[in-house]
Amino acid sequence: MENPLANLEHNTARLTRNQVRSFWAAWGGWTMDGMDSFIYSLVLVPALRELLPKSGIAATTANIGYYGGLLFALFMIGWGTALIWGPIADRFGRVRTMMFSITCFSLFTLLSAFATGVWSLAILRFLAGVGIGGEWSIGASLVAEEWPEARRTKGGAWMHTGYYFGFFLAAAANYFIGSRFGWRYMFLVGGLPALLVGLIRNNVQEPARWATRLEALGERWKMHHAFLQLFSQRYRRRTIFNSIYLVVSLTGLWAGSVYVPSAMTYIATRTGHTAMAAARLASYSTALLGIATVIGALIVPLLAEWLGRRITLGIFYSIMLGAIAVAFGHVFYLQSDAVGWFLLCAFVLGLGGANFVVYSFWLPEQYGTECRASAFAFITNIGRFAAAAFTFMVGAGIRHFQTMGTPVALTALAFVVGIACLPFGEETKGKPLPA
């Protein structure tokens, strides 16, 4: 298997110093983003077991599922409001905006360790979501604009592996820290990304492409101008269909993959494992998700250059559809060997999760420099409002059916819609990055 990070170092002679540093800044920020966003799914059950009674709510399985879905939904609404980072990055720069977003999500993840009830945790997770939602759009724009044309697709895909390395870091932290010291210490670990801000500030410069374009537009170019470009005659159709694709992917991630640790915890507990063993199995399932998606991320650019962006996305949509349906619709209810089969499903689900990698290079290819970050931020974040509704529905379904499996399995239907809409997308295979 090709190691993207080793390959990057091997080819540094072909890249300028700032190109290499820009990659590592985007990759590092996206790694910490992935870690912080997945910490909550790992500590969901123990955190709500402690906080629900403090809020006057019984910590039953149904209530944990219901309020867990509610908190996931609020987190995604916060993530959705992060679309504001795009116009900020288009007007004031990719690097500076990245530093602010990292500071935001690190601070509020750390403060989640001191939550006194379920509602204070909800508010802090909402605010952390606002910060987390900025990383992808900024990092992808930075790499797309800074890297040379011949290597841009791989650069975007490799940058995206950082998010799933973050899953692995979250799993490792839960294994060594969360399972021993409790969920609050996991949120303390989530404050570490703030350390990246100083390194980025002192070592990474803004892309010359962005600076040149901003200078040509002049001081009259404001944030709202960048945002309104997304709905111009040139971009309107692309913006609509790209937003639909993201709703599909986000529904699969937040209503499917994020429930993997909780599902594993329930399966392990049901089959007689101790609480510590269940926490560690949840960590294993999360690590498998991350490892499989990194493998998928290495495959994505090869398929995209061979088959095109739309067909590649359709392949990974299909993997997600099958994995969610089988994992939660069948394996979750097995009376024997459920742990082993669910771990296998987690790996396949992680492989399908690489569908997000396609957007890291496909979306920047569809928009000009003056509105690229705005487009990426709007498309990747507006879909979170719809995904939040689906996630809340999943939580309500868990409370109604008194089970996690069936409501989560039904989210696989979103990928049927996505596959049907793919022929209407803009194919950019072989085309240069717009000026």
Highest-confidence segment of 33-42, 239-248, 266-275: 239-248
Interval 326-350 mean pLDDT: 91
pLDDT in tens, 275-313: 788 878 887 887 788 788 889 999 999 999 999 999 999
Q: In terms of pLDDT, which residue wins out, 4 or 101?
A: 101
Sorted by where each begins, the domain ranges of the chain are 15-424
Interval 110-123 mean pLDDT: 93
Q: In terms of pLDDT, which residue wins out, 325 or 170?
A: 325
pLDDT for 179: 81
Question: Mean pLDDT of all residues in the chain?
Answer: 87
Q: Which two tokens stand for residue 6?
A: 């080793």
Q: Which two tokens stand for residue 327?
A: 């994992």
Lowest mean pLDDT among 21-30, 33-42, 53-62: 33-42
pTM (two decimals): 0.83
pLDDT range class, residue 118, cuts 50, 70, 90 = very high
pLDDT for 242: 96
pLDDT in tens, 245-264: 999 998 877 656 678 888 88
3-state SS string over the chain? CCCHHHHHHHCHHHCCHHHHHHHHHHHHHHHHHHHHHHHHHHHHHHHHHHHHHHCCCCCCHHHHHHHHHHHHHHHHHHHHHHHHHHHHHHHHCHHHHHHHHHHHHHHHHHHHHHCCCHHHHHHHHHHHHHHHCCHHHHHHHHHHHHCCHHHHHHHHHHHHHHHHHHHHHHHHHHHHHHHHHCHHHHHHHCCHHHHHHHHHHHHCCCCHHHHHHHHHHCCCCCHHHHHHHHHCCCCHHHHHHHHHHHHHHHHHHHCCHHHHHHHHHHHHHHCCCCHHHHHHHHHHHHHHHHHHHHHHHHHHHHHHHHHCHHHHHHHHHHHHHHHHHHHHHCHHHCCCCHHHHHHHHHHHHHHHCCHHHHHHHHCHHHCCCCCHHHHHHHHHHHHHHHHHHHHHHHHHHHHHHCCCHHHHHHHHHHHHHHHHHHHHCCCCCCCCCCC
pLDDT in tens, 379-408: 988 877 777 777 778 777 877 888 888 888
Interval 323-336 mean pLDDT: 91
Q: Which CATH class is domain 15-424?
A: mainly alpha
Q: In terms of pLDDT, which residue wins out, 4 or 335?
A: 335
Lowest mean pLDDT among 9-13, 42-46, 198-202, 293-297: 9-13
Q: In terms of pLDDT, which residue wins out, 107 or 73?
A: 107
